[in-house]
Structure 1
Amino acid sequence: MQKFLILIIIFFSGFKAYSIEFTLDDCIRYAQRNSIDAQKAMNSFLARTNRSQAFYADFYPQLLLNASLPGVSREINQITQPDGTTLFREQSQLFTSGALTLSQKIPFLNSELSIASGITKLDVYQTNDYTLWRSTPFQVTYRQPLFKYNSMTWDRKIRELIDSKSDDEFNQEMEDIAINVTRKFFELYLSEMNLKNSEQNVAVNDTLFRLSEGRFSVGKIAENDLLQSELALLNANNSFSSAELEYRRTLDELKITIGYTGSDKISIIPPKDIPQIDISPDEAVRYAVMNNPRITDLEIRKQEADLALQRAESNNRINADIFASFGLNQAAGQFDLIYRDLLDRQRFDVTIQLPLFTWGKGSGTLEAALQDKNRIISDSELQRMNFEMEVRYLTERLNQLRRQVEISTKADTIAARRFDVAKNRYIIGKIDLNSFFIAQSEKDIAFRALVQNLQSFWLAFYNVRKLTLYDFAMQKRINYVLERK
């Protein structure tokens, strides 16, 4: 029985001590799957995808049913008599109709072809009630604009750019998550190391204070040195208390950021090494221009400006539309007669629109569209130059930070070693208290500089990935859309 209880205690003790370890890459991947930001990014992407599907669906055959539910009218109508005279009669009518239409857009012609079939029933209530039926078994209709810009081709061209931009926006949103997680990860790492360092400082200063008390009691040090040692211990305790609270805050922030809702304790493993890559700024600019949605957005604006100019030019010159239809129809007083001895139904129209005098409206609209296009071209060129400069600077900054991390790592090692030497020398009375505190302060400063440089490097690394949408470590394009399909 005692062995059984011991096993239970060991089991639950181990269960409580269980923790999950996260590397930086683990945190990023977890957040890209489970965080609220990832859900928002996916919802936005799916909304854009559905809008795109709705756009392209408009170019597939459309089958529509148009029906008029029974309508009633009661009014005095003008009726022409067989002898040519006109009488006004009070009539009550009940009418019902229905039609089935199959239509298809033809993008390269900017035209539309449709086939329809329908039926209409009219009940007239007056002195002599009667019913009329009319059928249209089929009717083929074709509409063709002439001399106009092809709106369907332009719309599809712009939509392709919008779709490309949508995919890259989702990729950037995933990289934004990586950037945010990296920031929170290193904030937690710094607070964790500060907590450990504060705990170590408390232990060291406590030891030194007790040592100072002993030396003061035998007259080896002045009271000022004892008070300085006691003050250092009090400050170390305060720093430890603040570091403990800051650690809990940054831990909770990281959990929220990555979307972790479990009850298990988590611990982080900082990256031991950084990617040994030296990215060429020109190469980074090339990938950024190729992949970044900001560049695609500039191209969309140019295309929309060209479209507006084409529309203005089209509206300022002669336009024509061809409308042609052919079908069969029949009318009778009985339903079983409306599909017998069908009659031809034909129609052909050519409509022309030519602006003759519009008080300068057409030329003004055309000139405004031209100036808008020139403005957008100039603005796009400026934005592109600023964007390329941003990419180039950030790439150079990343290469610089890689070297700074190497220097900071060496400086941290030296400062930690110097602190150990200073502590041991103070214990044996070879240096004074001020020299020890200087070594302790330099150790803390060197460590914080290392963590901050690590954070800056990884933030710059993921910012370069975001701007270029290219993984320079793996030498491949970043595409989360394909990974999720």
Structure 2
Amino acid sequence: MKKGWKYVGGMACWMASAINLSAIELNLPQAIRLANDSSIEAFRSQNLYLSKFWEYRNYRARRLPSLTLNMVPMQYNRDIVKRYVSDLDRDVYRTQQSLYSYGNLSVTQNLDWTGGTFYIDSEIGFFRNFGQITTNQFSTVPIRVGYSQSLVGYNPFKWERRIEPVKFELAQKELIYNMEGVAVSVVSYFFNLALAVADCEQAEKYEEVCQKLYEDGLEKVKQHALSKTELLTLELALIEAKNACITYENTRSKAAFALAAYLNLPQGEDVRIQVPEGIPVDFIFREKALYYMRENHPVYREQQQKIIEAQQNVDKTWKERFMEANIDLSVGFNQVADEIGSAYRRPMQQDMVSVGVKIPLVDWGIRKGNYKMAQNNLKVVKRCTAGGVGCGRRNYFNRE
């Protein structure tokens, strides 16, 4: 029998040690660092920032020259085409087979100050016709220099240059703001657990007092110094104290689970906290608080971005209200020969000028409506920034 009790006691000690091994102790700075590293909210904020970072990096890359290789390695056609035979003075259908290959190497550079694209390219093409006589032809453009842009005056590159830095700065501000929000949340979970632990300890002390009073009451009843009614009152108080202790323990377990879940700790991890002895207090004046808010709050940068984007839309719809026009100019050399070496000898000059115009004759006021909508949207955005009514957001920047 004694061996059985020893076995049970050993198992209880082992389970207690296992529970202690699975527990993790955290102070407030450690909890904040762990939340910034492991919480789902921090992971989401960091990946949103990385998405904006790569978007800004792509914008910077578009400002640099790009080298592109376009290829059609092989294109085989076998079809039936209609041909005119002069000897028979009629059209006949004949089977045609051909093989085509093409390659183009180009360097392009977007020009912010003009809104156009400058390019230099070189290309080669090969064509083989299968028939009674197989023929080969090589077509080359050793070099071609060109430039294309819109003629209506709208410059998308200029607006990108204004908008993209503001968007990236907004992404940086949002990351800092969101990470501070993570810190605020973990502080709330931390002190919720601290209050629950304090309540639980207080309930345990109260239960001990009630237990002691009840035991003393039993002794006094034996000595006829206390009535049974008073003893029942002490017993009721003890039962209520035990129930309160169970309730507070459940609250503590829920608070610990909420903190562990927010920190993304392994399931079943018991969290124990070390409450700081004192909280440092710092004072900040109203003017300095407003200054830091205007400098660091992401809403301010968001409003700047919305204003610039609305101005961009107004500029675009105004300049494209009457027509759309673009021009493409290029000059270079080209040659055709049966052999690839001959296709690069004595190339002939190649010139190209293309002007495209699209004029809406009857559009029932669609373009004019787009321009008016862009104007109204700009007014709304500016009014919201100035703290107007109906913005859907409280104004934080112009209140006194």
Q: TM-score, normalised by structure 1?
A: 0.70
Cα drift, residue 171 of structure 1: 1.5
SS at match of 1:386: coil
Question: In 1, distance between residues paired with 2:341 and 2:186?
Answer: 75
Within the candidate set 179, 182, 187, 2:192 is matched to 187
Question: In 2, distance between residues paired with 1:314 and 1:185?
Answer: 57
Within the candidate set 290, 299, 302, 2:295 is matched to 290
Question: In 1, distance between residues paired with 2:245 and 2:398?
Answer: 41
- Equivalent pair of 2:207/2:245 in contact (CA under 8 Å): yes
SS at match of 2:344: coil
Q: How many residues align?
A: 379
- Equivalent pair of 2:76/2:97 in contact (CA under 8 Å): no
SS at match of 2:243: helix
Residue correspondence of structure 1 range 373-384 to structure 2 within 5 A? 373-380=378-385, 381-382=387-388, 383=391
Cα drift, residue 348 of structure 1: 2.4
Cα drift, residue 266 of structure 1: 4.7
Residues 99, 88 of structure 1: alpha-carbon distance in 2 compared, 3 angstrom cutoff: farther
Within the candidate set 44, 53, 59, 1:55 is matched to 59
Residue correspondence of structure 1 range 188-227 to structure 2 within 5 A? 188-227=193-232
| 1:256 maps onto 2:261 in alignment | yes
Residues 212, 259 of structure 1: alpha-carbon distance in 2 compared, 3 angstrom cutoff: same
Question: In 1, distance between residues paired with 2:83 and 2:330?
Answer: 30
Question: In 2, distance between residues paired with 1:317 and 1:214?
Answer: 103
| 1:326 maps onto 2:313 in alignment | no
Deviations 1:8-63 (A, max 9, x none): xxxxx999867754221221112111233322322222222223222332222221
Question: In 2, distance between residues paired with 1:373 and 1:352?
Answer: 29
Residue of structure 2 equivalent to 1:247: 252
- For structure 1, list consecutive stretches of 5 or more residues without a partner in the other structure: 1-12, 393-485
Deviations 1:308-346 (A, max 9, x none): 111110112455433211111111122221111111111
Within the candidate set 344, 356, 364, 1:359 is matched to 364
Residue correspondence of structure 1 range 438-457 to structure 2 within 5 A? none
Residue correspondence of structure 1 range 112-261 to structure 2 within 5 A? 112-261=117-266
- Equivalent pair of 2:152/2:320 in contact (CA under 8 Å): no
| 1:46 maps onto 2:50 in alignment | yes
Amino-acid identity (%) = 22
Question: In 2, distance between residues paired with 1:58 and 1:334?
Answer: 38
Within the candidate set 31, 35, 40, 1:31 is matched to 35
2:147 corresponds to which letter in structure 1?
Y
Question: In 2, distance between residues paired with 1:16 and 1:374?
Answer: 63
Question: In 2, distance between residues paired with 1:254 and 1:108?
Answer: 54
Deviations 1:78-104 (A, max 9, x none): 6799xxx99777443222211111111
Residue of structure 2 equivalent to 1:454: none
C-alpha RMSD of matched pairs (Å): 3.2
Cα drift, residue 303 of structure 1: 1.4
Residues 331, 319 of structure 1: alpha-carbon distance in 2 compared, 3 angstrom cutoff: same
- Equivalent pair of 2:294/2:397 in contact (CA under 8 Å): no
Q: TM-score, normalised by structure 2?
A: 0.83
Within the candidate set 105, 109, 118, 2:110 is matched to 105
